[in-house]
Amino acid sequence: MNAPDLTTLTLEEKASLLSGRDFWSTKEIPEAGIPSIVLTDGPHGIRRQAGASDHLGIHDSLPSTCLPPAVAVGSSWNPDIAARVGATVGREGRAFGVAIALGPGVNIKRSPLCGRNFEYYSEDPLLSGVLGAAHVTGLQAEGTGASVKHFAANNQETERMRISADVDERTLREIYLPAFERVVTEANPATVMCSYNKINGFYASENTWLLTDLLRGEWNFRGAVVSDWGAVGNRIEGVKAGMDLEMPGSVGKTDQQIIDAVRSGVLEEDLVDASVRRVLELSNLAPAEGARFDVDDHHALARELATEGIVLLRNENGALPLPTGQQIAVIGAFADTPRFQGGGSSHINPTRLDTALHEIRGQAQLRNSRVTYAPGFTVDGSGDESALLVDAVDAASSADVAVVFAGLGDREESEGFDRDALTLPPAQVALLKAVAKANPRTVVVLSNGGVVSLEGWHDDVDAIVEGWLLGQGGGRAIADVLFGTTNPSGHLAETIPFRLEDNPSYLNFPGEQGHVRYGEGVFVGYRYYESANVPVRYPFGYGLSYTQFTTTGLTVDTKDVDGALARVTVKNTGDSVGKHVVQLYVSTTAGPVRRPVRELRAFAKVELQPGEERTIDLALDRRAFAYWDVELGRWVVPAGDYSIQVGTDSSTIVAEKAVTLQGDPIVRPLTMQSTVGDWFGHPVAGPVLMQGLTAAMSPEQAEQADQNADGLKMVESMPMHQFLAFTGDSIPLECLESLVEQTRTEPATTAVPA
Ligand code: BGC
């Protein structure tokens, strides 16, 4: 559609374009050639409702392919998987007449208790951003627009519609915003969805700093901002802040408010026009009629894309892959009634559904193995669970191996509420322990959207397969990993702690009296565990394979003034083909702020044949070394020593190289509030002051000052104006004022490696 001339539209018509017609579509103005478009969930499938509508996944939707949710894509560490999930959703979006498929969600997993963690990728902003950008690129290449969500600092479900996330700017910039920034700057999403919550007291939907200064000003976003469903409070403040499209509609109420505000001079019509233009751009995404998708092809894709999300956590005594000619006892209701997606707005009505039990039976038959099945518990905790446990123990004791499917049900986790504990339901823990006692070879397969505690039974079992929620093809993907048809290659995108209390957000989650304080600052997930030396059950980045890899020959080239290039050689030293994730961390104490012990700054997933080796290049840009400086209001690369580390996870470093960077030539502006230490240590003012002082001193005074160095230390933290008051204006005020002026003119900054 060509952009219509807005002067041909009345104010009423323009206002009407800024809110939905109904739950899932925008208003049309046929006379002006403006069509209605459909926006619907997302992110791992199309939830197209034909009958009653809702945003909580309560009413039915048309069958579509349920691809692996973000929790599984996160664990794949593979942007290609994210891109193919996006592309598949994009193709189905077109077939369902959808212009915008809502997603992906790139919020950070701050607490393992967040009920919606299954819909987010990781506790790390780089991993989240790279996968989110790949999803958007894949989706939009198919002609369907994206809506990256929920912008911003929406890291919990408790009170999500009104809580204020109280976060300092460094933490926002380093942890909670970079994934959005990457998606916006690299993948150009059609829309950004603003979140329900407040940020430091201001609703995201009315937040000019967030939606205009940062998103459009700094990141150059050119698309439209859409509200989360029902996130609009004060519509006029929203338009002023740059919140373009209110979803769903308000049956004309807020349209009228916009009209009245323009007429009374409270709202500039130019702002309305700007929003209308951005919303009208979306009309170009209106899908062509007649698009189709092949249900079987997409089911095959759902299977394939699920495999890399599975993380093999434990594999003692060669328990996996399952050998041939075995009697296998499959235990646990999730084997037959899979939990393959989370509850809420992303809930898909799948076109097909694999069950692990069926797939295991199929593959067992080919390997001359026999399968028995006992549910062991009920997913909703109903019925006589102790009788089910007895049957399961019976089945386990007469088998060569017991494979137990445990996990969380929809009651335990969903959009809309947070969990209050990490543990599995008690009946399942009892079952795991009883089965492990009855059969020394016990394998556990987990189905859960958020991290569960493995304590109390971890050491009793031989193998643990973290199957997360894998979408409709997950049953096959799990069977493939159990039998070794595919080699597991997933790695944790979030830490599995020993105890909930170990998590850095523990004391501040989910907040109280309307506020959640992000008190742990940038120390989220592994950034905290590694920095505070808190032991965990499985660290971020961890994952086993049926083969082994070595990492050698790390080199780091820092000649490029805007970053560095790391090069490392990985080799598959085992006897099966496998995929390895090279994880590159940067570690430093440089700069005036406390830095996490290490931070993920680059990664790559490579497939290697047995014996094959490959050299991988990983580029580190300026941001890989930078922190957000709140005083200067920008990214700073401080001068100093940096260690470039390759880890098989965030706590296991297998190669390391030290580099020294000259960093940005920073000149901090001084004020009379700056301390004596700041003044004397300042690269411009310090030498001038020292020279002046020394010149004014007699040799005796100079000697005295030398002996009194400790006394000087005591005044170092004193603001200059106080120091002057105490010392009877010992330094002339005009001299200090002229130095203040000089420190305001800063040289340009570049990261210049030494
Ligand atoms: C969710 C969004 C979703 C929207 C529409 C909201 O409740 O937070 O993620 O896209 O509903 O269903």
Site to probe by mutation for ligand 1, drawn from 55, 117, 148 as the one with most ligand atoms within 8 Å of Cβ, is 55
> For residue range 662-689, what is the model confidence (pLDDT) as tens digits?
999 888 889 999 999 999 989 889 998 8
What DSSP assignment string belongs to 135-191?
A: HHHHHHHTT-EEEEEEETT---STTTTT-EEE--HHHIIIIISHHHHHIIIII--SE
For residue 143, the CA-to-ligand 1 centroid distance in Å is 21
Is pTM, for the whole model, over 0.85? Answer: yes
Burial letters 445-458, b for 16+ CB under 10 A, else e: bbbbbbbbbbeebb
Q: What are phi and psi of 131, to 5 degrees?
A: -70, -40
How many angstroms does the Cα of residue 19 sit away from the middle of ligand 1?
16
Rounded Cα distance, 320 and 315, in Å: 6
Q: Which two tokens stand for residue 126?
A: 């780089």
Higher pLDDT, 61 or 706: 61
Residue of 500, 499, 502, 480 lying closest to 490 (CA atoms): 480
Q: Is the pLDDT of residue 727 over 90?
A: no
Nearest alpha carbon, ligand 1 atom 5: 55
**In Å, how far are 524, 638, 706, 743, 753 from 629, measured between CA atoms?**
18, 10, 34, 17, 19
**Strand ranges for 377-451 from DSSP E:** 401-407, 442-447
Instruction: Identify the residue whose C-alpha is closest to ligand 1 atom 12.
Output: 55
Query: What is the arithmetic mean of pLDDT over 94-108?
Result: 97
The catalytic residues are 228
Q: What atom of ligand 1 comes closest to residue 102's alpha carbon?
A: 10
> In which band, very low, low, confident or very high, does the pLDDT at 288 lie, cut at 50, 70 and 90?
confident
What pLDDT does 561 receive? 60
**Ligand 1 geometric centre to CA of 74 (Å):** 20
Span from the CA of 149 to the centroid of ligand 1 (angstroms): 9
Tell me the pLDDT tens digit for each residue of 573-596.
Answer: 999 999 999 999 999 999 999 999
Atom in ligand 1 nearest the alpha carbon of residue 119:
9
Half-sphere exposure of 486 (CA within 13 A, CB side): 21
Residue 560's pLDDT is 63
703 pLDDT higher than 50: yes
* pLDDT greater than 90 at residue 252: yes
Cα of 414 to ligand 1 centre, how many Å? 13
Cα 509 to averaged position of ligand 1 atoms, centre (Å): 22
Q: What integer pLDDT is reported at residue 354 of this predicted model? A: 98
Q: How far is the CA of 345 from the centre of ligand 1 (A)?
A: 5
* Structure confidence at residue 52 as a pLDDT band (50, 70, 90): confident
Q: Can you tell me which atom of ligand 1 is nearest the CA of 57? A: 12
pLDDT, tens only, 535-574: 999 999 999 999 999 999 999 999 766 789 999 999 999 9
Residue whose C-alpha is closest to residue 623's, from 174, 177, 214, 210: 174
**Band of the pLDDT at 533, cuts 50, 70, 90?**
very high
Q: Which atom of ligand 1 is nearest to the CA of 160?
A: 8
> Which of 23, 148, 229, 415 is the best mutation target for the ligand 1 pocket, counting ligand atoms within 8 Å of the beta carbon and taking the most?
229
State the average pLDDT over residues 681-699. 85
Q: What is the pLDDT of residue 295?
A: 98
pLDDT digit string, tens, across residues 197-246: 999 999 999 999 999 999 999 999 999 999 999 999 999 999 999 999 99
Q: How confident is the model at residue 749 (pLDDT cuts 50, 70, 90)?
A: very low
Q: Give the distance (Å) from ligand 1 centre to CA of residue 308.
A: 27
Span 117-132, mean pLDDT?
Answer: 98
Q: How confident is the model at residue 752 (pLDDT cuts 50, 70, 90)?
A: very low
Asked if 443 and 371 touch (Cβ cutoff 8 Å), the reply is no
Specify the residue with its C-alpha closest to ligand 1, atom 11.
55
Tell me, what's the pLDDT at 750? 36
Ligand 1 binding site (Cβ under 6 Å of any ligand atom):
41-42, 55, 102, 149, 228-229, 345
pLDDT of residue 35: 95
644 pLDDT band, cuts 50/70/90, is very high
Looking at residue 683, its pLDDT comes to 87
Percent of the chain with pLDDT over 90: 86
**Å from CA of 343 to ligand 1 middle:** 12
Atom number in ligand 1 closest to CA 416: 7
Ligand 1 atom 3, closest CA: 345
Q: Which two tokens stand for residue 683?
A: 């690269």
pLDDT at 698: 80
Query: How many Cβ atoms sit within 10 Å of the Cβ of residue 668?
Result: 18
Q: What rounded mean pLDDT belongs to the chain?
A: 94
How wide is the angle at C-alpha 103 spanned by C-alphas 97 and 109, nearest 5°? 160
pLDDT at 286: 76
> Ligand 1 centroid vs 245 CA: distance in angstroms?
14
Query: Mean of the pLDDT values across residues 650-666?
Result: 95
User: Which atom, in ligand 1's list, is nearest to the CA of 150?
Assistant: 9
Pocket test for ligand 1, best of 23, 38, 41, 106 (most atoms within 8 A of CB): 41
DSSP assignments along 683-719, one per residue: TTHHHHHHHHHHHHS-HHHHHHHHHTHHHHHHHTTSB
End-to-end Cα, the chain, rounded Å = 53
What would the two tokens of residue 140 be? Answer: 């939009």
The one-character DSSP state at 628 is E
CB 151 within 8 A of CB 108: no
Q: Is the pLDDT of residue 53 over 80?
A: no
Mean pLDDT of 463-480: 98
Is the pLDDT score of 2 beyond 70? no
Residue with tokens 């929809």: 410
Q: Closest residue (by CA) to atom 8 of ligand 1? A: 228
Span 619-641, pLDDT tens digits: 999 999 999 999 999 999 999 99
* Ligand 1 atom nearest to CA at 105: 9
Q: How confident is the model at residue 1 (pLDDT cuts 50, 70, 90)?
A: low
Encode pLDDT of 483-528 as tens digits.
Answer: 999 999 999 999 999 999 999 999 999 999 999 999 999 999 999 9
Mutate to test the pocket of ligand 1, among 46, 47, 49, 345 (most ligand atoms within 8 A of CB): 345
For ligand 1, what atom is nearest to the CA of residue 154? 8
Q: Which residue is closest in CA terms to ligand 1's atom 6?
A: 229
Which three-class secondary structure state does DSSP give residue 377? Answer: coil
Residue ranges of alpha helices (H) inside 455-555 are 474-483, 526-531
Per-residue 3-state assignment (H helix, E strand, C coil) for 586-609: EEECCCCCCCCCCEEEEEEEEEEC
User: What residues form DSSP beta bridges with 512?
Assistant: 515
Tokens 């005796």 correspond to 700
